[in-house]
A and B are shown apart, each in its own frame.
Chain A
């Protein structure tokens, strides 16, 4: 990929979000220094990476769904489900890791398939379709579990806690997922079609693209990402938990991170790079508040304001541009 094209991809909202990220880091540095501490120590960087990894992975998947003009509200419950499936099958034994991972991916793919088919075949609005699927998973979880279950073997917990040098394995996993998604979007036909379907379904159809198939595949990929996030969280907890997905608010939070990264909620515009920036921005904000020992609820308030302001800024830039 040439330099020109990199520049083209970094234009506009994506650029804004990374500039905001740099600005925030600079601001944090000053604030923490005034407070007598040091911002972005090795410790806090590792913290940021670990905190972002699960949300980051889900948000990458969510990016795909939103780019295709859809969205997925079922990811939070799917994450919980994935963590339980993983921990139950592993049952503390190393030998079961591979089948457990396979089962999680299969379950996730199935959920994504259902989401996609309900949207395309039954023509149910994505909001309602994925909300309905979320409720279905929730009912099953609540019915079968009322607390953590299963056990993740020590070796698998390494995924959640170990690091290579300063880089946590979980961050590498996130980076891997993000790069894969970036590669998919920029180098494969499916990626091109995701943009086309989200940008203008009619134009896509007239160009011979089977739009329904693209939406279904996108949802499968999105759910797979949620499944991977579930695996990661199970390895952190050492067990599966029916509330791990909802406690993290991964459904709305992932959507927030995606739009914060400049991807349009209406689809067809944006990309993974912005999402990575959005997730990092939220994580740095978190870290900053932690270091300043600000009440954790302030975070929510600031986060809400930041998201709305960001999208308002993007909307304004859109307006000022010739059609």
Chain B
């Protein structure tokens, strides 16, 4: 039904996809797996008309198509379900399903028809826990996902693309998702299923395509691969990339957690020591970012112990000498319209600390090039923005620095600079915790890798673990 040949795409000169071939048949569940940065999201966005490919062709039922806008893809029968739902919480289920295409009779919206059609689709999906007249804001995340799927079906989508659909779901809700996908298949709808979770891939998919570093590794019927093989295909690569050498050993304990927890985390025991980089691995939704925010005091722990003390607010965290380089720079890390200097000094100013004169030196130390202090941060590249965030924390000479995806959206050169800097800081006696979903980064940088699963620590691995070992711990179901 859908057939893609030789798809390639670059952003700002960086090649993210090349030569991708992908075929999806009607009624097939086709899983796309790969590490973060393998190109899954970009590929998906091309299919849905968000991005246009630089090269290659897309055919739908044998006819070549090109989508300039998501609406065009939608009209051709392709629907996408993002992790962030596109729903209006204040409106009812039926109103959301028919948003922008409300049925009209004699000039008026035909509510009855709309609600009947929605009810019928809900019924077909075996969904009885809510009705077409319920407000979306009252539904659980899983139920909202059902609404998105109903929306897709109501436009007669023949291909539904799902991006990590289980990431936001609780265990029992995943069952519902399975059932839904089963129904879609019965209706002859093709599903492109993007996921990290191999158990789901084995449970659901007919075929699986493995992406790695922007290329397709293989496409195989699911029956012909084992999970170990799949993991090897996803991650198997030589770690040719340069990482700075590890430090000789860890020093005194800077921070320790005993049985710490909150609404998202349980029984966390962890020690961060001077001179050490501790990697945190885990699937999306495993509580990685929550761990960093809890230690930092932004979403504090509510139980257990933390030494030297448990911060109840960001300011208490900062006072303890803890810094957090957030995952989403633009939303949480930087005031984009302010200058480099103002951003670098934000923390120092917020807590009224000294040490402002050294900003120029600091910006040089983080290798910001060129170190123009008066430039607005929004004009900088991702890598330089990240260096500004780093400088912001270094003004405080923190004892503990937490990194959440330190090199996401950062080009290769800046990546190496940031890695060097992290190691340098550790060697200077800082305790560093680094969350990353890029396995090579975790393996190359960490002196220890702690793997989280469902808000708990699933295990700790010594320096230089294999990617398979991390993946097994993170997605324990594969082994069991």
By a beta-carbon cutoff of 8 Å, the part of chain A in contact with chain B is: 1, 4-5, 8, 187-189, 191-193, 195-196, 199-200, 202-204, 206-209, 268-269, 321, 323
Contact = CB atoms under 8 A, between A and B. Distances in A.
B247 interface: no
Given A192-B109, A196-B99, A206 B86 contact: yes
Interface in B131-148: 133, 135, 137
Contacts of A207: 86, 99-101
Given A188-B107, A188-B108, A203 B86 contact: yes
B413 to A, nearest CB: 33
B91 interface: yes
Interface in B63-110: 70-71, 74, 86-92, 95, 99-102, 104, 107-109
Contacts of A188: 107-109
Given A187-B111, A196-B91, A4 B86 contact: no
A269 B90 CA distance: 6
A199 B91 contact: yes
A204 B137 contact: no
A96 B135 CA distance: 49
B88 A195 contact: yes
Given A189-B102, A189-B104, A207-B100, A199 B109 contact: no
Given A4-B133, A8-B133, A207-B100, A195 B70 contact: no
B135 A203 contact: no
Given A187-B108, A321-B137, A192 B90 contact: no
Given A187-B108, A187-B109, A206-B70, A199 B90 contact: yes
B95 A192 contact: yes
B99 A192 contact: yes
A208 B90 contact: no
A189 B105 CA distance: 11
A8 B90 CA distance: 11
B108 A8 contact: no
Contact of A200 (B88, B100, B111, B133): B88
A206 B88 contact: no
A209 B88 CA distance: 14
Contacts of B133: 4-5, 8
A69 to B, nearest CB: 12
A166 to B, nearest CB: 33
B94 to A, nearest CB: 10
Nearest to B82: A206
B24 to A, nearest CB: 23
Nearest to B70: A206
B111 A196 contact: no
B76 to A, nearest CB: 14
Most chain B CB neighbours (cut-off 10 Å) among A189, A191, A209, A269: A189
A212 to B, nearest CB: 14
4 tightest A-B contacts by CB?
A207-B100, A199-B88, A207-B99, A208-B100
Nearest to A209: B100
Interface of B: 70-71, 74, 86-92, 95, 99-102, 104, 107-109, 111, 133, 135, 137
A323 B79 CA distance: 25
B101 to A, nearest CB: 7
A196 B91 CA distance: 8
Nearest to B110: A187
22 contacts: A5-B133, A8-B135, A187-B108, A187-B109, A188-B107, A188-B108, A188-B109, A189-B104, A189-B109, A192-B95, A192-B99, A195-B88, A195-B90, A200-B88, A203-B87, A203-B88, A206-B71, A207-B86, A207-B99, A209-B100, A268-B90, A323-B137
Nearest to B107: A188
Given A200-B88, A268-B90, 6 more contacts: A187-B108, A195-B88, A195-B95, A196-B88, A203-B88, A206-B86
A5, A192, A193, A200, most chain B CB atoms within 10 A: A192
B375 to A, nearest CB: 25
A226 B86 CA distance: 35
Nearest to B141: A323
A315 to B, nearest CB: 15
B366 to A, nearest CB: 34
A232 B349 CA distance: 57
Contacts of B101: 207-208
A186 to B, nearest CB: 8
Contacts of A1: 111
A2 to B, nearest CB: 9
A187 B110 CA distance: 8
Of listed B70, B71, B90, B92, residue having the most chain A CB within 10 A: B90
Nearest to A269: B90
Contacts of B91: 195-196, 199
A51 B479 CA distance: 75
A257 B26 CA distance: 54
A5 B89 CA distance: 17
Q: Which of B88, B91, B107 has the most CB of A within 10 A?
A: B88
Contacts of A323: 137
A200 B100 CA distance: 13
A181 B104 CA distance: 18
A294 to B, nearest CB: 38
B305 to A, nearest CB: 30
Contacts of B99: 192, 196, 203-204, 207, 209
A191 B101 CA distance: 13
Contacts of B90: 195, 199, 268-269
A321 B108 CA distance: 33
Nearest to A191: B109
A3 B109 CA distance: 18
A196 B100 contact: yes
Nearest to B100: A207
A258 to B, nearest CB: 16
A196 B87 CA distance: 9
A268 B96 CA distance: 13
A206 B84 CA distance: 13
A261 to B, nearest CB: 15
A12 to B, nearest CB: 10
A5 B114 CA distance: 14
Nearest to B92: A8
A188 B105 CA distance: 10
Contacts of B102: 189, 192
A151 to B, nearest CB: 40
B90 to A, nearest CB: 4
B130 to A, nearest CB: 13
A195 B90 CA distance: 9
Contacts of A196: 88, 91, 99-100
A203 B135 CA distance: 16
